[in-house]
Structure 1
Amino acid sequence: MALFVPLLVIFWLPSSNYAQGPPSPGYYPSSRIGSIGFNQGFRNLWGPQHQHIDQGTLTLWLDRNSGSGFKSLSPYSSGYFGAAIKLHPGYTAGVITSFYLSNSEDHPGNHDEIDIEFLGTTQNKPYILQTNVYIRGSGDGKIIGREMKFRLWFDPTRDFHNYAMLWNPSEIIFFVDDVPIRRYPRKSDATFPLRPMWVYGSIWDASSWATENGKHKANYRYQPFIGKYNNFKIAGCKANSATSCHPTTGSPYGSSGLSHQQYDAMGWVQRNYKVYDYCQDSKRDHKLTPEC
């Protein structure tokens, strides 16, 4: 009689970090802010031939001729600024798709900036989401960035996801689908942007640094590179608002900081998906970043 031996088959499954999203933050700032149409809050800044609006979705594209960018109609002294973004799949090395705050046009060579930047990538490698903060001067040859970079727990090319920056007098918080991924507190006036800024978005060729520090360049055999934006949200104090305007907060407590549940969600993201932190970079001169 033949002896039957069961065959053990082992299936590889992704880790739980990839099989599920982060724990619930318990508080959803975007749900408290109504969406606006692109033309209600923004205008084309450059590359108008590479910008198109259809049924509320703004499409920007980059080819060998040009990229494109947009700018808010007003500057702000604080606020919540968000958009749903869908990224281009496949080879996007060298290409930056961005949503950010800046006053570079008002203070050239001496400006402030708060960035959400998607760093393009090569085939089968994930996008990197770079957050950054500049304070009074990033275009004068003495660039002092405060980069924190993340992978994402989903494929940002398959659907729209909400990305946002909250900036008020005490802190900057970066959100992905309402999950806080980074909080940058105001520890001193010298390390915090305080001057009014405009809201921008763009797609452009940053081959010199965007992908693995410039190792992989934009390849226009894959053009056009497309970024899509919708569900725009702005809730803030304009630069000329009355002093009675109350800055937006990202906490259910209505004050600075995050709830315990929000901190737990942020901790999960940073443990599992953070890939770079300027404060932990031993090659950096941290005398230039005293908040570390």
Structure 2
Amino acid sequence: MTWIINLKVKVIGNVYDKLHNWLFPIDEYARDIVTIPRYNYINSVPFQKVVLDFLAWKGIDKKGNITSNRVYPTHIEILENQTALAKCGFSTGKYIEKLVVSEFLEMKERIPDLNPVLFAHFLDDSYHNSKLTKFTNLEAQKSNQTTKEYYDRLKAFLIEIQSFFEVEDLRTRIECNHTENQNLGNSFKYEEFITAFAKIDLNCDELGRFSMTYFINPHLKELIGESLGDTLEKRFEELTNCKMEGFIKMVPLNRRYDKWFKEIQTIPNYKVTVTEQNSL
């Protein structure tokens, strides 16, 4: 009987899916907004608790005085702290304690009256994964430097391609540095660079490691021609097949690229620039 019930459930599910797709059809080119993993955005309440815990355990009292009276947490308190970190989206929380203490001591020198509660609010507002990069080992730091260099080269390459066009829309580029615009709330994305035919992102994960993601407009060659289109695709293929493999990948979008490109230009803190046309 169990298999009959399972079969009925499966059939009903298939019928529902077909009915849903018929009533709410999805454009086959609707692939545009990147799905943001949950750890990209910090949950404020547990994050502030984590900050207060780490400061207290280091002997920093409620008034912000730095004492030698370290507090050794109980097993339950450690578990609660780990739970709070998980609610913030951190799988390990590696380097977070170092960051909290380091940032507090640095800010305390500038603001003598600083207390843990005020600091917790500040760090909550300004936190970005890139703050963790200084605590990574030399291998990770070297990898980050290499990834950033490739990102900058790719950005320069896209700008160079833009300079060949007369159409202003193809010369329009959109940039955003998420470390300078904390109000956007994305702690994963580091930088974004967007054109009408391709976009690239420089990201930083919760372990302070850089990576790159990209997406190419499905209508690339219709926009910029076969020759330039082939050149651009080859450049991305070279990156994904060389030593950058594992650090760069294509991430699909879930809306039409052209509509998304227009809409993102209206978002505050995204800088819109028109690349100068090459006169040659």
TM-score (norm 2): 0.27
Q: Considering only CA atoms, is the larger Rg found in Structure 1 or Structure 2?
A: 2
More helix by share: 2
Q: Which has the higher contact order (CA 8 A, sep 6+)?
A: 1
TM-score (norm 1): 0.26
